[in-house]
Amino acid sequence: MHLSILNALSMLGRPDMMRMVLAATMVFASARMAQAQRASENAVTQAEDAFGTSVGNEQVGLYSSFDVRGFSPTAAGNVRIEGLYFDQATGLNPRLQQSSQIRVGIAAQGYAFPAPTGVVDYALRLPGAEPRLSALVESNTRGTTRVEFDGAHGLIEGRLSIAGGVGFHRDVLADGSANYEHNEAVLLKWTPLENVNVMPFWSRTDYYDKRSGQTYAPAGPFLPAFNPGRHFFGPDWALGREFDSNYGVVARITPFADWDLKVGLFRSEKKEPDSMFVLLSGLTRDGHGNLLVFADPPSGRRSTSGEVRLEHTVQEGPRLHRAIFSVRMRDRDAEYGGAAIIDLGATAIGERVSAQRPDFHFSPQIRDHVEQTTIGFSYQLAWKGLGVLGLGVQRPSYHKRTLIPGQQPAISDDQPWLFDASLAAEVLEDVTVYGDFTRGLEDSEIAPQNASNRNQALPAITTRQKDVGLRWAVTPGVKLVFGLFDIQKPYFNINPQNLYTQLGEIQNKGIEISLAGNVLPELDVVAGAVLAEPRVQGDAVDLGLVGRHPVGMPSRQLDVNFNWRPPQEQALSFNLGVSYQSSVPAVVSNLVSVSDRTVVNGDVRYSFVMGGYPASLKFGIQNLFDSRDWDLDGAGAYDIYWDSGRRLNARLIVDF
């Protein structure tokens, strides 16, 4: 663990690292007093439900920004910043985001313009009235190390304040993936008038020596022979670099008490001057195959997006009317493909391959351009003691143009009418029943690495979702949610020609259960379960060419977390988390499955005062029972599950 810390700190010798440290020092040097900011971070105690919450570096719940009910809201384009539309070409770095919330099921009730695959809503690290500075150091026995500084300071009292931070990371994953990373962000909060708030921000993440763990592709319907652990067996030169940035502005103007204007304008960019992907293909049952390295020419994607939203509220006795008019837009470009494929010859799982770096000869790349404008109107009625009614309509204008070398341009246009309706009724003082229907236009998943059209983004698709359920406030601090959901959308995967394309229609319906809250004075619980029946329909299924179960979608999920504080020692707490996922089909024919897995994590935390400053120390053990599993990297392609293997970790946070 000490060596991992030294490796991460050695990055400070680089000139760009020194510039980042100097910038952080200039921003936060004047901070003398601080309010607690990060030392109290605990996703279990801060989660409102079990559907997915992230706080700082912690995450809890059934779902994440890349997995909601078997689908990815991020890949679908359902991302928001402070509630406003954001077309994410690359993710927000942790210096910029304070937390995130998954808006799905009852968590989407009262949320304007929901989406069938769920919505990921990011909250920014906004500066407060008091200056603050938090420092975090974290490391584990696998080799991952993080050093982070986040802070804020007022520049003009009541008018202008600044927040931001820098982070230095050395990440090492179970599949052998590793990289060095530094990230930074700056955010201003400007209040020129009492009814005007303007928040410009900028962030960047740089990845160095980026190594992706190899993927394993068997020659038939069977799993790779054995799990080799987290070691990387490819050539030393199979490294990449990546530069990501997100910047923009969020503004809010309240000209009158019952009018609210919100504006968001964002730019998101991902640049990969070097990118390598290692594939052990044609694997036999005894673990022998050919090692291929895919080297991509400089590629990337860029998007300008935003939303203008005007809200008007009218209070009428016990009734509150809310009308929302919205205009969203995005303009996205991407270039990909053109990879040089290097065959390093026959090898076997676990054998190290050494080879000279060749000269790469790239082919012409594919270029995409997407333009989309969406006009929407939403009406909500909240009636005290009765419930909430929501109605919405949207009309997107979608245009995509794909330029494939040697072919005519492929053009896709769509202008569907999209509707959503929701109702939440208070049938008893502590019981609310709800139901909703949503029809959306969402992006397709990007073709996986082992497809012949790898990294290609297919045209947008029309999707539908229905929800019904109830929420019971068992006690003032504990809520139970029971819901039924039904999602329908086109099914994309790899066909017999190794092309990632539409193979039919997919329907995922099931039951969701969430229990969250302070069940005892000393005990917080966040527990959730999903029981689903994902199915594929279409001619290919009827002909036996495609299995009835979609690749990679589990039918059972469980996530249970406890946070307990001893009655006589409230500064001490113990966390225990158990997550379970059932087996999932691994190939389109359903002849192979990845087995189910259970992961148990635990930690002990101690809050104290260090030199007069609030601090917290955490010691944890992740994957207590040393579970090691395969994971999918596309149909018929496998990598090592990122959370495989037991490890110890330690974290110290101090709020100066």
Element (H, E) at 3: helix 2-9
Contact predicate 264/250, CB 8 Å? yes
Structure tokens at 168: 């230095």
**How far is it, in rounded angstroms, from Cα 645 to Cα 651?**
19
3-class secondary structure, 549: coil
Write out pLDDT tens, residues 28-64. 443 333 344 789 889 999 999 999 899 888 999 999 9
- pTM, rounded to two decimals: 0.90
Number of domains in the chain: 1
Report the CATH number that the domain containing residue 434 is assigned in CATH: 2.40.170.20
- Distance CA(634)–CA(446), nearest Å, equals 11
Q: Residue 498 has what pLDDT?
A: 85
Print the SS3 string covering 606-654: EEEEECCEEEEEEEEEECCCCCCCEEECCCCCEEECCCCCCEEEEEEEE
Name which of 106, 105, 86, 109 is nearest 96 in CA terms.
86
Please, are residues 41 and 60 in contact by the beta-carbon 8 Å criterion? no
CB 618 within 8 A of CB 603: yes
E-strand ranges in 68-177 read 79-81, 84-85, 97-103, 119-124, 132-140, 145-156, 160-172
Residue 347 predicted with pLDDT over 70? yes
Mean of all residue pLDDT scores within the chain: 90
pLDDT tens digit string along 288-334?
999 999 999 999 999 999 999 999 999 999 999 999 999 999 999 99
Which pLDDT value is given to residue 497? 85
Q: Where are the alpha helices (DSSP H) in 303-423?
A: none
Contact by Cβ (8 Å): 104, 111 = no
Answer whether 367's CB lies under 8 Å from 403's CB.
yes
Instruction: State the pLDDT confidence band at 577, using cuts at 50, 70 and 90.
Output: very high
Could you tell me the residue range of the domain that residue 493 belongs to?
2-655
| CA neighbor of 51 nearest in space, from 106, 124, 4, 129 | 106
Strands 340-348, 523-537: parallel, antiparallel or unpaired by DSSP?
unpaired
- In 3D space, the residue among 174, 61, 177, 270 whose CA is nearest the CA of residue 645 turns out to be 174
Distance in angstroms (rounded) separating the CA atoms of residues 296 and 196: 46
Q: Kindly state the average pLDDT of the residues 104-130.
A: 89
Q: Are 179 and 204 in contact (CB under 8 A)?
A: no
Angstrom distance (rounded) from CA 391 to CA 377:
8
